[in-house]
Amino acid sequence: MKRLIGYGSVLIVGLGGVTAATVWGEGRQGNANIAIATTRLAMAKPAPAPQAVAMAPATAPGASPAPMTMPDAVRAIQNAATTKWTANGTQEPHVGEASPALPAGFTFDTAATPASAPGICTKAKRIICADKTTYVATAYINGEPQFSFPFRPGDGRGASFATGDGHGRIDWKSRHHVSSLYGTPMPYAMFIAWDEDARRGQAFHLSYDFQREGYDGFSHGCMGVGSEAVMQRMWETFKPGDEVYTYRS
């Protein structure tokens, strides 16, 4: 079940706040108040309908507001999740919600490849570049983009859980990894050693929390991926020693 949020709308809806946790890469993966349409599959006990609230127009009276892009819609959800987390850091933002908070048209399986990227991405032999502004990661081989996909970092939870910035390398992989702290699954975990960050334990991995919550929540440092097909491809494409680079566009 997926709560679809129209990213071209000018309506917002308050999102509640499923418990999510991940420890830098060894935990469960763990979004603003926008909505034009909410879609839910039939449930044994239907969730209450959202209460939409008109957003103040961003343009002159009578003018049509500019449509919200997918990255803008995702950021809006994440910003609202951060606001809820800041107000009550003892409860995960998505608690009480029945479906993931995702923009309309969103899919876990693919994302638009960026029109431009940092030079390191187009020069490296094998690298995964993750843009923490658009929440889109792209796999490059010999400088050519191969596929792009959405991910969810930990930055919205606070500096202590922020996903590493800059350059790193895949350190090791664990196909059926389980968090040693939370006992939660982290399939296809690809752990990262950052050049400028001594923390270890952050990883790309399939995130069931991301699937369940959408962007109404965050990891504890990992880059959660919601598509098993994407993580299978990542697992088969990249090996220890291959590069990782995170940036903000």
Domains and CATH numbers, the chain: 119-247 (2.40.440.10)
- pLDDT, greater one: 148 or 92: 148
Share of the chain above pLDDT 90, in %: 63
Name the pLDDT band for 154 (thresholds 50, 70, 90). very high
Residue 5 has pLDDT above 80, yes or no: no
Strand partners, 12: 53
User: Tokens 């939660």 — which residue?
Assistant: 184
Name the pLDDT band for 34 (thresholds 50, 70, 90). very low
The token duo for 190 is 């690809």
Q: Give me the count of residues in the chain.
A: 249
- pLDDT, greater one: 90 or 81: 81
Residue 145 has pLDDT above 80, yes or no: yes
**What pLDDT digit, counting tens, does each position of 185-205 carry?**
999 999 999 999 988 899 999
Report CA dihedral (17, 21, 22, 23) to the nearest 10 degrees.
120
Expressed in percent and rounded to 5, the helix, strand and coil fractions of the chain are 20, 25, 55
Q: State the Cα–Cα distance between residues 162 and 132, nearest whole angstrom.
A: 11
Residue 229 has pLDDT above 60, yes or no: yes
Residue 50 is predicted with a pLDDT of: 35
194: Cβ contacts below 8 Å, ≥ 6 apart: 164, 165, 166, 167, 168, 202
Compute the mean pLDDT over every residue in the chain, rounded to the nearest whole number: 81
DSSP state of 121: H
* pTM assigned to the model: 0.74
- pLDDT, greater one: 36 or 181: 181
Q: State the Cα–Cα distance between residues 177 and 167, nearest whole angstrom.
A: 24
Residue 100 is predicted with a pLDDT of: 96
- pLDDT, greater one: 43 or 63: 63
Which backbone phi and psi does 80 adopt, to 5 degrees?
-65, -40
Beta-carbon neighbour count of residue 203 at 10 Å? 27
Query: In sequence order, what DSSP letters do the residues of 202-246 get, joined into one string?
Result: -EEEE-HHHHHHBTSS--SS-EEE--HHHHHHHHHH--TT-EEEE
